[in-house]
Amino acid sequence: MAQLRQDYAKFQHLDAEVVAVGPDGPNAFRRFWESEQMPFIGLADVGSKVAELYNQEVNIFKLGRMPALLVVDKQGVIRYHHYGRSMADIPANSEVLEVLKTLVEEEEHG
């Protein structure tokens, strides 16, 4: 999440919002968000309802939820997805920013 925080302004510049979803309870999530000064939305997903909706894998042998990163357009269509195979398998911000730039260009010309 630190990489998302680092480039948050770039995401905003492309008219995107970052929403991080995690398995912790609301109080633990709030404490983490405040201590790490996360500028974007954090959603406590107790019961994994959101994770289930987006088919996020849970693997107890690999420390729980595997990373998942999705870009959802303004119409609610998933335009990009990356489902990690390990806790470190997270796409670079530059890859996601390129997807967002393409969406902005499509919107402008489309």
Residue-wise pLDDT tens digits, 70-102: 898 888 888 899 998 888 899 999 999 999 999
CA nearest to 79, candidates 59, 44, 103, 48: 103
What 3-state DSSP class applies to 10? helix
- Tokens 């959603």, located at residue: 43
Q: Where exactly are the structural domains of the chain?
A: 2-109
User: Which CATH entry fits the domain spanning 2-109: 1.10.1840.10, 3.40.30.10, 3.30.200.20, 3.40.50.300?
Assistant: 3.40.30.10
pLDDT in tens, 3-58: 999 999 999 999 999 998 888 889 988 999 999 999 999 889 888 888 888 888 87
At 109, is the pLDDT very low, low, confident or very high (cuts 50, 70, 90)?
Answer: confident
